[in-house]
Amino acid sequence: MSEGPSPPLSSPPPLLLGRGQAPGKAILLGEHAVVYGRPALAMPAPGRGTQVELYALLSGGPVEWDLETPLDSPPHRRRELDAALADVHAALGVPPRPLRVRVRSDLPPAAGMGSSAALAVALARAVADAAALPLSREEASRVAFETERRFHGRASGIDNTTAAWGIPLAFRPGAPPEPLVVRGTFRFLWVHSGVTSSTRDAVAAVAALRDRDPGGTEALFDEIAATVASGRAAIARGDAPSLAAALTSNQAHLRRLGVSHPAIEAVITRALAWGAPAAKLTGAGRGGMVLVLAPDDPEPLRRAFPGAVEGVLG
Ligand code: PMV
């Protein structure tokens, strides 16, 4: 056999400096009121998250982003990504260096699944890994909170806390998160309403409502807190009908806060028609995901929503 021309010299493989990952999240009960100090319940997004790898950049720089859609879209614009990375370096006391940042995620952006918090926690873990710094989940959460505020304006901290802890939590701003006690199992489907929404705008709309009617809005937040407490107790007892009642009541609160949307209501109506005991928006609302509690036999619901993300609490 004759020898052909030798293959071109390939460039050396890129030098991997560090990696980090984090799950997305789904709020079960209590969004928006949690921004004003009330409790809320959240769980990691089922099997979904964000991975970051940092590579040494030999030429160019200071930072090259290697992204895939859907990450490369708002709220993940390059300027915000650069700022988030700078925040992470500053918060960890690690000097910035030329980097190629590879980001992969299967979280839909602007849909209430905590994609920006998952990215922030994964970035913090990757930068710490590259600097050989140990990073506790409390520290990862704290660092990510800085970038959350940049993405969201006012933020409660529930997204970064759930992304950093990676377990179902009862969360209240300013208090250590408590692992959620779950008896039995609760199956959920996450159905996209088909409408993307901005958390920053939804949070601002609730703030405007509170400015107009502080007494009424604070009273509504208190009602939400009571519903969160009864939902938490239902989860601890393995009591699906009571959890369904809490989810339904919380959706009514969220409507009154003005953060539902006709597309969300259409998903809820369809889910109930296919046998779901309850459904509500999850996250900031005005679009995004709808959280559907599945009945004992979830098959008809699965057929009704073929693209749904499925997850189990417990
Ligand atoms: O839209 P998401 O997934 O980022 O959820 C935001 C939850 C809010 O309560 C509306 C805001 C917050 O920071 O808690």
Mean pLDDT of the chain: 91
Q: Each residue of 156-180: pLDDT tens digit?
A: 999 999 999 999 999 999 999 999 9
- Nearest-atom index, ligand 1, CA of 113: 3
pLDDT at residue 39 is higher than 60:
yes
Distance 202 CA to ligand 1 centre (A): 9
Q: Is the per-residue pLDDT at 13 higher than 80? A: no
Indicate which residue's Cα is closest to atom 3 of ligand 1: 112
Site to probe by mutation for ligand 1, drawn from 203, 206, 228, 257 as the one with most ligand atoms within 8 Å of Cβ, is 203
Give the residues surrounding ligand 1 with Cβ less than 6 Å away: 27, 31-32, 34-35, 112, 114, 152, 155-156, 158-159, 199, 203, 283-284
- Report the pLDDT value the prediction gives residue 4, as an integer from 0 to 100: 47
Q: Each residue of 200-230: pLDDT tens digit?
A: 899 999 999 999 999 999 999 999 999 999 9
Q: Whose CA is nearest to atom 10 of ligand 1?
A: 284
Which residue among 35, 160, 259, 290 has the greatest number of ligand 1 atoms within 8 angstroms of its CB, and so is best to mutate?
35
How large is the average pLDDT for residues 282-293? 95
At residue 71, does pLDDT exceed 90? Answer: no
- Number of the ligand 1 atom closest to the C-alpha atom of 283: 5
Which of 48, 150, 156 maximizes ligand 1 atoms within 8 Å of its Cβ, making it the mutation to test the pocket?
156
- What ligand 1 atom has the least distance to the C-alpha of 110? 1
For a mutational test of ligand 1's pocket, the pick from 28, 149, 152, 291, i.e. the residue with the most ligand atoms closer than 8 A to its C-beta, is 152
Of all atoms in ligand 1, which is nearest to the CA of residue 203?
A: 10
Ordered domains of the chain (ranges, CATH): 16-171 (3.30.230.10), 186-313 (3.30.70.890)
CB atoms inside a 10 Å sphere around CB 246? 28
Confidence of residue 129 (pLDDT cuts 50, 70, 90): very high
Q: Going by CA atoms, what residue is nearest to atom 5 of ligand 1?
A: 283
Q: What is the Å distance from ligand 1's center to 58 Cα?
A: 38
pTM, 2 dp: 0.91
The minimum-distance atom of ligand 1 relative to the CA of 30 is 9
